[in-house]
Homo-oligomer: A and B are copies of this chain.
């Protein structure tokens, strides 16, 4: 790609959008400039553009994003058949298991939820399509890392901020790589309160008919209700069933 095939004004604008959500919902021009590292004049033009197009509101002091901004993500969700295909299977899985079920894809060091069927609430934060979690400490993340060639998985870990969310979180790269090896071998990943105290989850990969991974699928349950040791016998058969059904559907 040539230098001139890059629209930096566009790239800068996208950076400005992403500046929201990091910390606050309302940003002043200066704050947004500080977060993005761009010049105030540039950020101001971008924000006024967003406002003019209805993607943002401006009260003379603060800018905030409007729901119209969801159109951008929606362009992906509705354009990509995956979420729509997976959703009914998730609904069924969630109902049969009596627990929340989700599907996600990998984006850099994070997994991104693309569909979800929630039953009762177990996590402190609420997950929805578009939500992100670090891959290294999430069951679906482990599944994705196991699907990568080993050097690549290692590289993702290297770029990750490996911090201990709970006393159970594994943060040692070698230990994580060993666990990822186990996941690759046994075909599923278990997380026992590594992300949040009281939360266990089990995940399997979703593969297409050419055995390429296209998403990860999981079930989450409260640890008090379902000990990690029971996750496998309780939910793995259900997950395997859904996995098999989707393998045929996914092109």
A contact set with B: CB distance below 8 Å: 1, 4-14, 17-21, 24-25, 44-46, 48-50, 52-55, 64-81, 83-84, 87-88, 91-92, 94-95, 105, 107-108, 112, 114-121, 125-126, 128-132
Contacts and interface: CB of A to CB of B under 8 A. Distances in A.
A191 to B, nearest CB: 21
B126 A83 contact: yes
A132 B95 CA distance: 25
Contact of A45 (B5, B21, B75, B105): B5
B79 A45 contact: no
Nearest to A65: B76
Nearest to A13: B10
Nearest to A87: B126
14 contacts: A10-B13, A11-B49, A21-B78, A24-B79, A25-B79, A54-B108, A66-B76, A67-B107, A70-B114, A72-B72, A74-B130, A77-B128, A91-B118, A130-B130
A118 B84 CA distance: 13
Contact of A10 (B49, B116, B125): B49
A68 B105 CA distance: 10
Given A6-B52, A9-B7, A71 B18 contact: yes
B69 A76 contact: yes
A118 B129 CA distance: 13
Contact of A49 (B6, B44, B55, B107): B6
A116 to B, nearest CB: 8
Contact of A64 (B14, B17, B79, B115): B79
B118 A20 contact: no
Contact of A25 (B10, B80, B130): B80
